Amino acid sequence: MGSRLKPAATNPIITRSKRRNMPKDPSIRKVMVIGSGPIVIGQAAEFDYAGTQACRALKEEGVQVVLINSNPATIMTDTEIADRVYIEPLTVEFAERVIARERPDGLLPTLGGQTGLNLAAQLAEAGILDKYDLRLLGTPLSAIQKAEDRELFRETMHAIGEPVPESWIVESEEQLREVAKICPYPAIVRPAYTLGGTGGGVAYNEEELLQIGRLGMNLSMRHQVLVERCLLGWKEIEYEVMRDAANTCITVCNMENLDPMGVHTGDSIVVAPSQTLTDKEYHMLRTASLNIIRALGIEGGCNVQLALDPNSFQYYVIEVNPRVSRSSALASKATGYPIARVAAKIAIGLHLDEIENAVTKKTKACFEPALDYVVVKFPRWPFDKFVTADRRIGTQMKATGEVMSIDRTFEGALMKAIRSLEIGAIGLTRRGVAALSDMQIEEGLAVATDERIFIVAEAFRRGMMVEEVAQISSIDPWFLEKIRQLVEMETRLRLHARELRDLIQNPCNGHPAAELLRTAKGKGFPDAMLADIAGVDELALRRARKALGIEPVYKMVDTCAAEFEAETPYYYSSYEQGESG
Amino acid sequence: MRALLALEDGVTFEGEAIGAPGTVVGEVVFNTGMTGYQEILTDPSYAGQIVTLTYPLIGNYGINEEDDESRQVQVSALVVRQVCEHPSNWRARWSLREHLQAKGIPGIHGIDTRALTRRLRAAGVMMGILTTELTREEALRHLQASPRYDQFNYVRMVTTPEPYVWDVEGMKPVDAPVLPDTRYRITLLDCGLKYNILRRFAALGSRVTVLPCTATAEDVLATAPDGVALSPGPGDPALLSDIVAQVRRLVGKVPLFGICLGNQLVGAAFGAKTFKLKFGHRGCNHPVKDLRSGQVTITSQNHGYAVDPSGLEPGMEVWQINLNDGTVEGLRHTSLPIFTLQYHPEASPGPRDSDPYFAEFLRLIDESRG
C-alpha cells in the first residue's frame, strides 16, 4: 500500500491509531498494579487472571505498567505482561520503595483481590499516596469502605431504599425481650465472639428466641448476640455489574445458586444465567444491583449478592464485593465478557461506549451479554486430601477450586461439570452413597455437604418425589426435576442394557436402541458410563456411536447469542442435532 | 408429534410440536432476551411473526396470570430449543406447552435455534412456515403461495375495537369516574400497545384513554388530553399513511410521545421515510446513546423497521442512536413538546433503565401547561 511509504507524521491512518492508543486521561502514563500474593482458600488464581488481563489492557492504551506481587507462580509476573515487575512482599514498606523508585501516576488496587485492596488502604492511611502524588485509580477508597463496612453499607442501602436484612445487637435481657416482640420469624441468633459460632440457632417464635438468645449471651465472651432475619432457604442470586465514570451501568450476567441461602456462594453449585426467575424478578434484582453500584460510586466491576423469597417478590441485599472477584472470573468465562480488562480501562478514564467488545470486534463493551447456553460452576473441595475434615458446607468457604462447564442444556452442563471435578465420578453416582440408609439420605438432603448432589440423585433412585426433596433441601424444584430426569434416563438405560449392547455390536440407525443412545448423549451421559451400563468396552461404544453419526457439535461463546459475528475462537461442545458455529 | 419449520430459502428444521397442531406462515425473527417469553408471546408487535428465542431453555418459570402484555397471545408461532415441562415459580399456573395448546398457537422445540439464528443473521429475516401436517415440499409450496409479512396491515388487526380507560385500578369503561388524585389525562392511540405502558402512566398519576388506531385527530382532541402517546405496533409503517396524516394534525396542538412504532409514525409525520432492518432489533441488551447527554442506556427492543433521518424536517432532530449500528433510537423536537423512542421504556420484558422517560413526558406536559 502506498500510504505505508509516507512518513509517519503525515500518514492519517497512523495518526488516528496513535490517538486511539492514548489513554483517555493523558496525565496517567504509568500505573502500578498490585497483585494478590499467595493463593489461599477463598482467594485463588482468579486474581492472577484478572491482573494479567488488566496489565494487558493498560498496555494496549499506551500506559506503562509496574507490577508488584510476591507470588512467582503467576502469569502476571511474566516479564512480557507488565513493563516492570517487582517480586516483593505486599507490605506498605516494600510498596513504598517501589513507588519511590518508579514514581507511577496511578495505583490500581481493585484487581488483586482483598490483598490488593487492603494494601492500597494502608498506603492511603500512611500518607504514601499523598507523599508521592499517586492517584488511586478505579473505585475510590470511600466507595470500597461503603461496601465493606457493615454500618456504612446499611446506611447507604437505607438511603436508596434497598432492603437489607433487619438485625439487632442484643446485650441484655431487656433488649432481648424487646427484640423478641418486634423481630420477624424465623430469626437467626448469632452469639458474638464464640468459637465456631456455638450457641447460635434459628428461632421460630418469641419463646424460642428468648431461650436461644439467653444461651447465646451466656456463651458469648461479650455477653452479646446478633438477631437477624433468617433467610435460610431463600434463592441466592448474584449480579455482576459494571459502572464507568460517566455513570453508565451494565450487568454482565446474573447467576443463580443451586444451593439456597446458607451455603457460601464459593461452596455452591452456581448456574448462569438464572433459571427460575421470571422477567419481573430478573429485572427487579437487576435494577436493584444497578442502583447499588451507582450509590456506592464504584468505577469498574462489582458483584452484588441478593436473597429472593421463593414465594414472593421480597428480596434483600446480602453483600457487595466492590472489586473483581471469584464471581467475576466466572462471569467473564461464562459470558465471554472480559470484566477485568474493561475494569482496567474504566480505571484510566475510558467510558464503556469507548471500549471495544473484544469478542465481536464490531460492537462496544457497553452492552449486556446474551447467553444461548447454560453455564454450571461446581466447587472442588479438598476433602479427598483431608479425610477427617468436617464435610458440611455453610457460610465459611471450604472449596479450594472450581470447575465450569457449558452446554445447551442444564443436564449436559451438569454432567460435564461432575466429570471435570476429577473426583472419580463420571455421573451422578458416588462411592458410598448407595450404601447409606434412607435416614442418612434424608439427613444428607437437609445438611449441605460436598456430596449432596449425589445424595439427591440417590433419593430419586429410591423413589422420593421432587416435592419431598425440595421440602427437605430447599433446593428449587426446577433443578431437582432435571436431576430426577437424569436418574430416570439412567434407569431407562439399565432397563435396555441388552438392546444397547446389541446396538453397539451392530450399529445401525434403524435399531430400537439408537434413539435411546442419541437421547442419552443429548442429556450429557459420558461414553464411559454408557459402556459400563451396556457391559461393553468404552472404545467399542465410542466406535459404534460414531458409526451412528452421534457426535458433538462445537458452538461458540460470542456474548451476543449469534446476533453478530464473533472473532474470538471460544467454544463448547454439545450433543445436539445441528451445526457447529 | 413432529413439526417442521421451513424457511423461504429452502432451509428446514425438524423438531417436536409443542403447541396446537396445524400450519402457520409468518416472518421468522429471533429475540436474544434470556427471560420474558410470556411478555414476548403477548406483545402485539410480534403479530404475524414466527418468533425464535435464542436462549435454549424456555418455559422454566411457566406462565402466570399477571404477566400478559395484551389480551391474547400475539405471535404466529414459537420456536425454542428445549421446552420445560415442569416449570418452577411461585406464580406459575400453566406450563408453556399447555398454554400454547390452550391458545391454539403452534410451536416447535428440539431444533438448533442457534443455527436458525445464524441463518437469519446472515440472510436477514425471511418468511417461514411451521407445520405439523405438511411434508417439506408441500410446506415450501404453501409458503411460496402465501402473502408476505409486509403486505398486511397488522395494526388494524391488533388495535382495540373500542375505546377504554386505564388508571391505577386497571382497565375501565370510558365513562368511569375520574379518580380524585388524577394529575394527567393521557390519550393513547393503540396500534398494538403493551399493558405496561398503561401501568407505568397510571402509576405516575395518569388516567389513560385508549383509542383505536382509526381515531382521527379530532377524536383524539375531543378527549381533552394533556398529552398524546403513540403506541408500539406490528408491521411495515409505510402502510400506515392514514395514521401519519392524523399525527401530523396533532403536531403543535398537544405534547406527543412516540414509542417504537410511534417513533416511526412521528418521524414520518415530520417527513422521514422508514426502512426495513436486515434482522431487526429484538432483545433486552441494546445500548442506546443519548446524543445530548452522552449517556448510554441498555434498552429493551423489538422492531424490524427504522427511521431514515435524512428526510426529517427542520426542528426535528435525532436524539438517540443505537450504539451497535448507529440507527435512530429517538427523536426530539427543538421547540415543540415532542419526543420519541424506538425502544421500550415500559420494559416488560427487559431492563427498566429508561422508565424515567414516562416521568419526563409528564414534566414536558407540566412545562407546556406553563
Q: How far apart are CA A15 and CA A8, in angstroms?
A: 8
**CA-nearest residue of chain A to B63?**
A278
pLDDT digits (tens, 9 = 90+) for A146-175: 988 888 999 999 999 999 999 999 999 999
pLDDT at A196: 55
Weakest mean pLDDT among A108-112, B9-13, B287-291: A108-112
pLDDT at A110: 85
Superfamily name and number for B155-369: Class I glutamine amidotransferase (GATase) domain (3.40.50.880)
Name the nearest CA neighbour of A320 among A168, A159, A150. A150
Residue A244's CATH number: 3.30.470.20
pTM: 0.94
Q: Is there a contact between A279 and B353 if contact means CB atoms under 8 Å apart?
A: no
Query: Residue A175 corresponds to which cell in the numbers above?
Result: 433488649
pLDDT at B144 over 70: yes
**Residue A377 φ/ψ, nearest 5 degrees:** -105, 130
User: Nearest by CB to B54, which of A248, A287, A561?
Assistant: A561
pLDDT digits (tens, 9 = 90+) for A508-545: 989 989 999 999 999 999 999 999 999 999 999 999 99
Confidence of residue A18 (pLDDT cuts 50, 70, 90): very low
Residues of B within 8 A of A351 (CB-CB) are: 296
Query: Residue A385 corresponds to which cell in the numbers above?
Result: 486430601
Name the nearest CA neighbour of A121 among A97, A105, A139, A103. A139
Q: Is there a contact between A578 and B115 if contact means CB atoms under 8 Å apart?
A: yes
Q: Which of A229, A245, A275 represents a domain boundary (last residue)?
A: A229
Q: Which of A229, A252, A267 represents a domain boundary (last residue)?
A: A229
Dump the DSSP string for A152-202. HHHHHHHHTT-----EEEE-SHHHHHHHHHHS-SSEEEEESS-GGGTT-EE
CA distance B370 to chain A (A): 32
pLDDT at A361: 84
A250 and A352: one domain? yes
A224 and A240: one domain? no
A246 and A369: one domain? yes
In our burial notation (b when 16+ CB lie closer than 10 A, e otherwise), range B340-369 reads bbbbbbbbbbbbbbbbebbeebbebbeeee
Query: A105 lies in which domain range?
Result: 30-137
Q: Which of A493, A524, A540 represents a domain boundary (last residue)?
A: A493
Weakest mean pLDDT among A2-6, A128-132, B259-263: A2-6
pLDDT at A44 over 80: no
pLDDT at A12: 31
Average pLDDT over residues B217-225: 98
In terms of Cβ atoms closer than 10 Å to its own Cβ (0-12, 13-18, 19+), residue A253 is: buried
Q: Is there a contact between A369 and B294 if contact means CB atoms under 8 Å apart?
A: no
A577 compared with B42, residue with greater pLDDT: B42
User: Nearest by CB to A370, which of B32, B111, B112?
Assistant: B32
Name the nearest CA neighbour of B106 among B35, B5, B198. B5
pLDDT digits (tens, 9 = 90+) for A239-284: 999 999 999 999 999 999 999 998 989 999 999 999 999 999 999 9
pLDDT at A340 over 50: yes
Q: What percent of chain B has pLDDT over 90?
A: 99
Average pLDDT over residues A461-480: 98
Q: What sign for the dihedral angle of Cα B111, A563, A346, A238?
A: negative
CA distance B80 to chain A (A): 11
**CA-nearest residue of chain B to A357?**
B324
Query: Residue A522 corresponds to which cell in the numbers above?
Result: 443429548
Give residue for cell 484510566.
A348
Confidence of residue A195 (pLDDT cuts 50, 70, 90): low
A202 and A272: one domain? no
Q: Is there a contact between A561 and B55 if contact means CB atoms under 8 Å apart?
A: yes
In our burial notation (b when 16+ CB lie closer than 10 A, e otherwise), range A147-162 reads bbeeeebeebbeeeeb
In terms of Cβ atoms closer than 10 Å to its own Cβ (0-12, 13-18, 19+), residue A294 is: middle
pLDDT at A46: 87
User: Nearest by CB to A278, which of B89, B112, B352?
Assistant: B89
pLDDT at A504 over 90: yes
pLDDT digits (tens, 9 = 90+) for A68-115: 999 999 999 998 999 999 999 999 999 999 999 999 999 998 887 888
Q: Which residues contact A187 (CB under 8 A, 6 or more apart)?
A: A202, A203, A209, A227, A228, A229, A230
Helix, strand, coil shares of chain A as percentages rounded to 5?
Answer: 40, 20, 40
The reply to whether A511 falls in a domain is: no
Q: What percent of chain A has pLDDT over 90?
A: 75
R_g of chain A, CA atoms, integer Å: 27
Q: Where are the domains of chain B?
A: 2-152, 155-369
pLDDT at A9: 35
pLDDT at B209: 98
- B66, amino acid identity: E
Q: How far apart are CA B53 and CA B30, in angstroms?
A: 6
CA A478 to mean position of chain CA atoms: 20
Residues of B within 8 A of A488 (CB-CB) are: none
The reply to whether A187 falls in a domain is: yes
pLDDT at B184 over 80: yes
The reply to whether A185 falls in a domain is: yes
Residues of A within 8 A of B60 (CB-CB) are: 275-276, 478
Residues of A within 8 A of B84 (CB-CB) are: 478
Name the nearest CA neighbour of B35 among A406, A256, A317. A256
Distances (CA, A) of A90 to A47, A55, A64, A422, B3: 14, 18, 20, 34, 63
pLDDT digits (tens, 9 = 90+) for B79-105: 999 999 999 999 999 999 999 999 999
pLDDT at B346: 98
Confidence of residue B181 (pLDDT cuts 50, 70, 90): very high
Which positions of B are annotated as active-site residues? 260, 344, 346
Q: Which residues contact A460 (CB under 8 A, 6 or more apart)?
A: A469, A483, A484, A487, A488
CA distance B291 to chain A (A): 12
**CA-nearest residue of chain A to B62?**
A278
pLDDT digits (tens, 9 = 90+) for A410-459: 999 999 999 999 999 999 999 899 999 999 999 999 999 999 999 999 99
CA distance A15 to chain B (A): 24
pLDDT at B18 over 90: yes
A221 and A262: one domain? no
Q: Is there a contact between B56 and A476 if contact means CB atoms under 8 Å apart?
A: no
User: What is the average pLDDT value for chain A, to the nearest integer?
Assistant: 91
Q: How far apart are CA B206 and CA B334, in angstroms?
A: 26
Q: Which residues contact A116 (CB under 8 A, 6 or more apart)?
A: A34, A35, A36, A47, A90, A109, A110, A323
pLDDT at A16 over 90: no
- A244, amino acid identity: D
A246 and A372: one domain? yes
pLDDT digits (tens, 9 = 90+) for B34-56: 999 999 999 999 999 999 999 99
A220 and A336: one domain? no
Q: Which ranges of B104-194 would DSSP assign to H, the alpha helix? A: 113-123, 136-145, 154-158
What is the DSSP-derived secondary structure letter of residue B92? Answer: -
pLDDT at A63 over 90: yes
CA distance B369 to chain A (A): 32
Q: Is there a contact between A481 and B121 if contact means CB atoms under 8 Å apart?
A: no
Q: Domain total for chain A? A: 4
Q: Is there a contact between A290 and B113 if contact means CB atoms under 8 Å apart?
A: no
Q: Are A236 and A310 in contact (CB under 8 A)?
A: no
CATH domain B2-152 topology = Glucose Oxidase; domain 1 (3.50.30)
Q: Is there a contact between A581 and B347 if contact means CB atoms under 8 Å apart?
A: no
Q: How far apart are CA B225 and CA B218, in angstroms?
A: 11
Distances (CA, A) of B327 to B121, B122, B150, B244, B344: 17, 19, 21, 21, 15
Calculate the dihedral angle through the C-alpha atoms of A87, A92, A93, A94, rounding to the nearest 10 degrees. 10
pLDDT at B227: 98
User: What is the average pLDDT value for chain B, to the nearest integer?
Assistant: 97
Parallel, antiparallel, or unpaired for β B49-53 and B77-80?
parallel
Average pLDDT over residues B126-130: 98
pLDDT at A5: 36
